[in-house]
Chains A and B, each alone.
Chain A
Amino acid sequence: MPGVKTMLECIPETLIARTTGKINPAKTCQPIGAMYAALGIHGCLPHSHGSQGCCAYHRMHLTRHFREPVLASSSSFTEGASVFGGAANLKTSIKNVFQIYNPEIMAVHTTCLSETIGDDLPNILKQSEIPEGKVVIHVNTPSYQGSHITGFSGMVKAMVSYLAVSDGGEKKDQLNVIPGFVNPGDMREIRRIVSAFNVKTIMFPDISNVLDAPLTSKYNMYPEGGATIAEIRDSANSSATIALGAFASNDAADLLQEKFGVTGIPLKLPIGLKATDEFIMAVRDWFGLDVPASLATERGQVVDTLIDTNIHYQGKTVAIFGDPDHVIAMTEFVLTMGMVPKYILTGTPGRQFDAEIQKLLKEAGIEGSRVKAEGDLLELHQWIREDPVDLLIGTTYGKYIARKEDIPLVRFGFPVLDRAVHPLMPVVGYRGCLRLIEQISNALLDRRDRNCLDEDYELVL
């Protein structure tokens, strides 16, 4: 229709300086991260201490990404609770939850509402009747600070502070792995890699077999997966913790080190060749083991594939956005691939993001890239409009920009709402490298096939 403006044409063409607010956000709020992390404890019911809407939204958003039922209870605040405080609601909730849904553990997170009211969670929990043998943990997740990644990190830290207990003896020959805010398929892959070393591993949270559980026509409210309370308790006795992704995992690892002397090994998310190498080397070095031949083979396959395909993407410019740990690791990988990360943006606040990315760019000798933490997608779009890129890598929310600017999009990170299967397919490890290489080169080649002249339309590429 002539004169009709598409969604992104409604916004100004040229770069505008904005002083306040967000337009087309690249983050969401803390509680959903806390809810996601809590699902990685076996037999856990996440509980949202606030109005029903928050809980409904978080469940819906997670369901749209994972295409799985996501259960969580809510304190169901009404106006009364908001005036008199939410203590009564939380106490009733605890009673009802254990009576009706009977989880092993209830993981409570706050919302902006209960935070603004000033509910004192530790105190309320102390006064609550918690059935024998059951556990309630909590984290404060005010939505007006940080992002969903902050909330995830907070809940993982709460697992340590509430559940980890030292035996007082020697450290055991076992490894803690905190996998970060990644998909269940990634968690499976991380476990597979460590298992290749025959190292006893405690991974938490572990959402595999929870949000990628098979269809059996029986519905388990508490699926088989998830780190057990006993495992998390025992994490205090491990000799080391590998924390994957600083934003999502370092806090919990730091606490394990501080409180129990478990050595923390902070690493990037093992996305890309280099970060996967570092992850595997860290396990090798800590335990003094040889790298299993199977992993060496996988690495060789990645290098082989990079050589076979580099002609398709080398020198291409790319914009990457999403959660900070994902974006940092992905930036490193596209540099390995010989691409040029031109715009790098996360919605999550944190100065560390800029420092990490700048370091990577400097090492690669790349200049003139734009980097921003706590940005939004309007800003990213305006950068791209000023000077386009060949490829966009990010969440589903990038699809508007991709369409408007006619740039191929590789879906990566959270959330991906318009494609299926991705939560089961790892992007971490060497297998993840292969998948990303395939996705990136296919996106560029599909574009080439679509746009090229007849005489350039090739059978063999």
Chain B
Amino acid sequence: MEDLCAVPSAPDACISERQNSIASGGKNKTGIHCTDDSLAGSVSQRACVFCGARVVLNPVTDAVHLVHGPIGCATYTWDIRGSLSSGSEMYRNSFSTDMKEHDVVFGGEKKLVACIDEIVEKYHPPAIFVYATCVSGMIGDDIIAVSKAASARYGIDVVPVESSGFISGNKVVGYRAAAEALMKLITPKDGESVEKTRKLNFLGEYNLGGETWLIRNYLAEMGIEINVAFTGDSTVAALKQAPGACLNIVQCTGSMHWVAANLEKKFGTPSMSVNFFGAENTTESLRRIAAFYDDPAITRRTEVLVARETERIRLVIQRYRKKLAGKRAAIYVGGAYKAVAIIRQLRELGMEIVLTGTQTGKKEEYDDISGMLDKNAVIIDDANPAELEKFLIEKRVDVMAGGVKERVLAYKLGIGFVDHNHDRKECLAGFEGSVTFAHEVYVTTCSPVWKQLELTLAPEVG
């Protein structure tokens, strides 16, 4: 892929207004602007509030997720997460009020009420999440009032999610809308209470490829039980037990930071950041959890687990390291915690990280990232494809970690790709996950197909 150097870079890919959204690595503070809205007219990789809310809540397995809007919002989010369920698969169906012109003109509340009535009568779900979209928000449908009345009428949780797309182009705002809906759901009603236990909640964990189950097994071996995960493989009943946990471990901070803060405020549950991507991170996280419980038996079992698993994967990772050492990698993902985790994992594989970007990273997180990287590395917030292309070529990247839209771009440039998005199907967490990840990076970076790129059909003989 060396010949990529010869490819001229994109015509002035960087918009001058965007210069504050791009920085370089090293110990200095980045000063990156990451809360800026995307420019009108840019080809952004970002989405909307609805999208953010939908991905956070979607894995609640036995709830009905009713999208109040025209059909598209429901179609594009139908079963797109790789979140697995051990029970109900209700969440994989797609419910929409399918608003029509008539509803837009005269208001969609009546239709929403009718849909809720029908869903309750025929499907008997324990809860319905009602998602606002651009149109229902714009015409002022009062989904809060409708939900409240329906909850009272049926004695189930009908929870409004205030996720009108236009509120922001930043998914983080949607995470917040989802978080507020979750808090509504789990706060005990008057006269109800949840008893405290020794279990922990696992926040910001979506059971992609069964990752929740894997971590659950680790914790079980240590002697710790998961109360409920937010929201991977969760049920409405399990979520309602959330106040009973003695600790909240938080993985995807972008989506769950606010929930953790509120759980602490309301129920006194302390929280701790964890990260189960990569062996190093996993070890560190398990030890910190064990330390919280301050129980010699738990600590002993944790060390046994860590030692055994580390040894088990050591040789495998070494084998991949031999193949991958020195290769140049780029990262463009949704949240910063994921970027940090991938940086560490690629480092474990001996690779050089030359570009890192996120859609929703926060200032402090970018500072952390900057501290981890070499000073020549590029750091970028809310990249557009032209910028990504420019840097992928300029930095002679061999492999990129990102989401669905970046995959095809990377391939077009003759660059390997590994999926670290929320719709992936592979389990990338824990010790097992680090092996899977190394394997995926290896397969794409060292694919024999890339050799075919160098061969072209000569137009003439000779």
* A contact residues vs B (CB 8 Å cutoff): 1, 4-12, 16, 18-25, 27-29, 31-32, 45, 47, 50-61, 63-64, 67-69, 71-79, 81-82, 88-90, 92-97, 100-102, 111-113, 116-117, 142-145, 147, 215-219, 221, 378, 397, 400
Whether the pair A28, B44 counts as a contact (CB closer than 8 A) is no
Chain B stretch 1-56: residues in CB contact (< 8 A) with chain A: 1, 3-4, 7, 10-13, 15, 37-51
5 example contacts (A-B, Cβ-Cβ < 8 A) are as follows: A29-B75, A100-B12, A112-B99, A143-B69, A143-B72
B217 partner residues in chain A, CB cutoff 8 A? none
Further pairs besides A20-B97, A82-B134, A92-B41: 7, Cβ < 8 Å: A21-B111, A47-B41, A50-B165, A51-B134, A53-B134, A73-B42, A112-B133
Given A52-B47, A78-B167, A111-B134, A71-B88 contact (CB < 8 Å): no
- Interface size of B by CB at 8 A reads 82
Q: Is B115's beta carbon under 8 Å from chain A?
A: yes
User: Within the complex, which residue of A21, A47, A218 is in contact with B97, where a contact is CB–CB below 8 Å?
Assistant: A21
Whether the pair A21, B96 counts as a contact (CB closer than 8 A) is yes
Min CB gap B158→A, angstroms: 15
Whether the pair A24, B169 counts as a contact (CB closer than 8 A) is no
Min CB gap B222→A, angstroms: 25
B42 partner residues in chain A, CB cutoff 8 A? 73-74, 76, 96, 100
Nearest residue (CB) in A for B72 is A29
Whether the pair B41, A97 counts as a contact (CB closer than 8 A) is yes
Contact bitstring B204-216, A, C-beta under 8 A = 1, else 0: 0000000000000
Q: Is B74's beta carbon under 8 Å from chain A?
A: yes
Nearest residue (CB) in A for B75 is A28
Nearest residue (CB) in A for B94 is A24
Whether the pair A63, B139 counts as a contact (CB closer than 8 A) is no
Nearest residue (CB) in B for A66 is B408
Given A96-B42, A219-B412, A82-B166 contact (CB < 8 Å): yes
Whether the pair B50, A53 counts as a contact (CB closer than 8 A) is yes
For the complex of A and B, 7 pairs with smallest distance between CB atoms: A53-B48, A29-B72, A217-B414, A93-B41, A96-B41, A143-B70, A7-B89
Q: Is B148's beta carbon under 8 Å from chain A?
A: no
Q: Complex formed: what's the CA distance from A378 to B98 in Å? A: 14
Q: Is B168's beta carbon under 8 Å from chain A?
A: yes
Q: Is B389's beta carbon under 8 Å from chain A?
A: yes
Min CB gap A105→B, angstroms: 15
Whether the pair A29, B71 counts as a contact (CB closer than 8 A) is yes
Q: Complex formed: what's the CA distance from A60 to B45 in Å? A: 10
Whether the pair A22, B41 counts as a contact (CB closer than 8 A) is no
Whether the pair A81, B69 counts as a contact (CB closer than 8 A) is no
Q: Complex formed: what's the CA distance from A337 to B73 in Å? A: 38
User: Within the complex, which residue of A64, A76, A397 is in contact with B169, where a contact is CB–CB below 8 Å?
Assistant: A76
Q: Complex formed: what's the CA distance from A61 to B115 in Å? A: 26
Q: Complex formed: what's the CA distance from A338 to B217 in Å? A: 55
Q: Is B325's beta carbon under 8 Å from chain A?
A: no
Min CB gap B177→A, angstroms: 13
Whether the pair B413, A219 counts as a contact (CB closer than 8 A) is yes
Nearest residue (CB) in A for B49 is A53
B43 partner residues in chain A, CB cutoff 8 A? 45, 71-74, 101
Q: Complex formed: what's the CA distance from A25 to B73 in Å? A: 11
B44 partner residues in chain A, CB cutoff 8 A? 52, 55-56, 74, 76
Q: Complex formed: what's the CA distance from A60 to B453 in Å? A: 26
Whether the pair A53, B90 counts as a contact (CB closer than 8 A) is no
A216 partner residues in chain B, CB cutoff 8 A? 453
Q: Is B106's beta carbon under 8 Å from chain A?
A: no
Given A28-B72, A215-B411, A112-B134 contact (CB < 8 Å): yes
Chain B stretch 217-250: residues in CB contact (< 8 A) with chain A: none
Given A22-B98, A112-B69, A69-B412 contact (CB < 8 Å): yes
Q: Is B78's beta carbon under 8 Å from chain A?
A: yes
User: Within the complex, which residue of A20, A69, A144 is in contact with B104, where a contact is CB–CB below 8 Å?
Assistant: A144
Given A4-B86, A21-B98, A73-B41, A28-B71 contact (CB < 8 Å): yes
Whether the pair A23, B93 counts as a contact (CB closer than 8 A) is yes
Q: Complex formed: what's the CA distance from A94 to B40 in Å? A: 9
A25 partner residues in chain B, CB cutoff 8 A? 71, 74-75, 78, 94, 96, 98
Whether the pair A56, B45 counts as a contact (CB closer than 8 A) is yes
Whether the pair B71, A63 counts as a contact (CB closer than 8 A) is no
Q: Is B118's beta carbon under 8 Å from chain A?
A: yes
B168 partner residues in chain A, CB cutoff 8 A? 78-79
B101 partner residues in chain A, CB cutoff 8 A? 142, 144-145
Nearest residue (CB) in A for B449 is A215
Q: Complex formed: what's the CA distance from A78 to B96 in Å? A: 24
Given A50-B134, A75-B41, A221-B386 contact (CB < 8 Å): yes
A97 partner residues in chain B, CB cutoff 8 A? 41
Chain B stretch 260-298: residues in CB contact (< 8 A) with chain A: none
Whether the pair B413, A116 counts as a contact (CB closer than 8 A) is no
B11 partner residues in chain A, CB cutoff 8 A? 102
Min CB gap B46→A, angstroms: 5
Min CB gap B123→A, angstroms: 7
Whether the pair B86, A1 counts as a contact (CB closer than 8 A) is yes
B344 partner residues in chain A, CB cutoff 8 A? none
Nearest residue (CB) in B for A417 is B80
Nearest residue (CB) in A for B45 is A56
Given A20-B111, A100-B12, A10-B69 contact (CB < 8 Å): no
Q: Is B126's beta carbon under 8 Å from chain A?
A: no
B10, B77, B115, B169, most chain A CB atoms within 10 A: B169
Nearest residue (CB) in A for B96 is A22
Chain B stretch 53-81: residues in CB contact (< 8 A) with chain A: 66, 69-79
Contact bitstring B396-408, A, C-beta under 8 A = 1, else 0: 0000000011011
Min CB gap A418→B, angstroms: 11
Q: Is B320's beta carbon under 8 Å from chain A?
A: no
B40 partner residues in chain A, CB cutoff 8 A? 74-76, 88-90, 92-93, 96
Q: Complex formed: what's the CA distance from A19 to B49 in Å? A: 29
Whether the pair B76, A116 counts as a contact (CB closer than 8 A) is no
User: Within the complex, which residue of B70, B76, B96 is in contact with A112, where a contact is CB–CB below 8 Å?
Assistant: B70
Q: Is B87's beta carbon under 8 Å from chain A?
A: yes
User: Within the complex, which residue of A76, A143, A219 is in contact with B38, where a contact is CB–CB below 8 Å?
Assistant: A76
Q: Complex formed: what's the CA distance from A217 to B397 in Å? A: 12
B407 partner residues in chain A, CB cutoff 8 A? 63
Q: Complex formed: what's the CA distance from A221 to B11 in Å? A: 10
User: Within the complex, which residue of A63, A96, A113 is in contact with B408, where a contact is CB–CB below 8 Å?
Assistant: A63
Min CB gap A236→B, angstroms: 30
Whether the pair A69, B409 counts as a contact (CB closer than 8 A) is yes
Min CB gap A82→B, angstroms: 4
Q: Is B307's beta carbon under 8 Å from chain A?
A: no
